Amino acid sequence: MTAALETQGLAKRFGGIVATNDVTFRLEKGARHALIGPNGAGKTTFVNLLTGVLPPSAGRVLLGGEDVTRLRPEARVRRGLVRTFQINQLFADLTPLETLSLAVSERLGQGARWRRPVGGDALARDVDEVAERFGLADALDVRTDTLPYGKQRLLEIAVAFACAPRVLLLDEPAAGVPAAERKGILDAIATLPADVSVLLIEHDMGLVFDFAQRISVLVEGALLTEGTPGEIAADPRVKAVYLDEAEHG
């Protein structure tokens, strides 16, 4: 069966430094998959290769069987490969209504321009649906920079979802979120439709084990192992290189 997202021998070198080392990886359709690894493992570089921010030194990226290795990030988004960022990328002075409207307008082919949704039209319906799904319906007209940080992270996931992804890459969606608000992030991720394939890149091991059906472990730019949460938790190599660090970090 064709994978939702696949890499074949993916590599990235910066001079003499190998940041991504011959990574062959599959994200199955509808998967709930997590990518973990210690600091400096190359997770961000790998995500940047998947999304087209960086060109690979070798190897290929396939999206639904299509070779997208040379496509720019925006072309990959149009084909359904969408990401969130470890650091908030939202427009602080816009409201969630404005931000979501821009994303939905772009997806509907109306261009990324602001116009107030009119009750009953496609833009209004889609914005309302996304806001309701991610618990933002009561904050649509509030400036983004005044929202609690957990809500801002939810908004970023909502914007990604508004782009109608086939594959959604969540880059540390709980980063910087207070512990009391992290359950909201997990609950929001749990509401994602089953046909959206999700790759979670995350340091919060509680979030990883609650979310993932499979986990891949990246160490020094290479895949160390992959398995179920139970297999990963019991693997002494993983514990040595990552879980002990997470427990003491």
pLDDT digits (tens, 9 = 90+) for 39-87: 889 999 999 999 999 999 999 999 999 999 999 999 999 999 999 875 5
Q: Is the pLDDT of residue 107 over 90?
A: no
pLDDT of amino acid 85: 73
Q: Reading across the β-sheet that carries 17-27, which strands appear in turn?
A: 17-27, 5-14, 58-63, 66-67
Q: How far apart are CA 135 and CA 152, in angstroms?
A: 11
Q: Where are the alpha helices (DSSP H) in 118-248?
A: 122-133, 149-162, 182-190, 205-211, 229-234, 236-238, 244-248
Confidence of residue 248 (pLDDT cuts 50, 70, 90): very low
pLDDT digits (tens, 9 = 90+) for 129-175: 999 999 999 999 999 999 999 999 999 999 999 989 999 999 988 88
Among residues 123, 115, 83, which one has the least CA distance to residue 98?
Answer: 115
User: Residue 218: enclosing H or E segment and its boundaries?
Assistant: strand 214-219
Rounded to an integer, the average pLDDT of 95-123 is: 74
- What count of other Cβ atoms lies within 10 Å of the Cβ of residue 47? 21
Q: Is the pLDDT of residue 239 over 90?
A: no
Q: Is the pLDDT of residue 114 over 70?
A: no
What is the pTM (predicted TM-score) of this model? 0.89
- 3-state secondary structure at position 7: strand
Domains, the chain, ranges and CATH?
5-89+164-248 (3.40.50.300)
